[in-house]
């Protein structure tokens, strides 16, 4: 259900540009909905569109000094467990949590 709401928001934003034939969506590793689920839902909602999803890697900063991709232990709808690859602590999330409409292809 959560994925459908997010997808409808993306589609509404795309349709505001005109007669859409394709979209590109950037999906963060720690976005509210995992990329495969988002892709499946988008393609069901707009079977005639070209739907391209691009992965955005998560980036964290930890107190131990580590900056980079976290270890993602679990990720599902609105829920993620991740930790520092170096010390296993809980780092600050810098990027990779968003789902962004990047491009709209219109007729």
pLDDT of residue 1: 58
| Contact call for residues 100 and 25 (beta carbons, < 8 A) | yes
The pLDDT confidence band at residue 2, using thresholds 50, 70 and 90, is confident
Beta bridge partners of 93: 60
- SS3 (DSSP) at 61: strand
Q: What does the pLDDT average to over 52-69?
A: 97
pLDDT in the model for residue 22: 97
Three-class secondary structure of residue 35 per DSSP: helix
- Residues 66-84 have a mean pLDDT of 92
Does residue 75 carry a pLDDT above 90? no
- What does the mean pLDDT of the chain come to? 94
Q: Which CATH number fits the domain that encloses residue 22?
A: 3.30.2320
Q: Is the pLDDT of residue 30 over 90?
A: yes
User: Into how many domains does the chain fold?
Assistant: 1
User: What's the pLDDT at 94?
Assistant: 97
Looking at residue 55, its pLDDT comes to 96
State the pLDDT at residue 78. Answer: 75
């Amino acid at each position: 259900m959560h994925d459908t709401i997010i997808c409808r928001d993306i589609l509404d934003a795309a349709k505001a540009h005109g007669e859409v034939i394709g979209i590109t969506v950037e999906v963060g590793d720690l976005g509210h909905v995992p990329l495969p689920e988002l892709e499946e839902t988008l393609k069901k909602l707009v079977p005639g569109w070209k739907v391209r999803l691009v992965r955005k890697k998560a980036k964290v900063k930890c107190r131990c000094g580590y900056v980079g991709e976290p270890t993602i232990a679990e990720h599902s709808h609105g829920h993620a467990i991740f930790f520092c690859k170096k010390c296993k602590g809980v780092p600050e999330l810098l990027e990779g949590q968003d789902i962004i409409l990047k491009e709209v292809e219109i007729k």
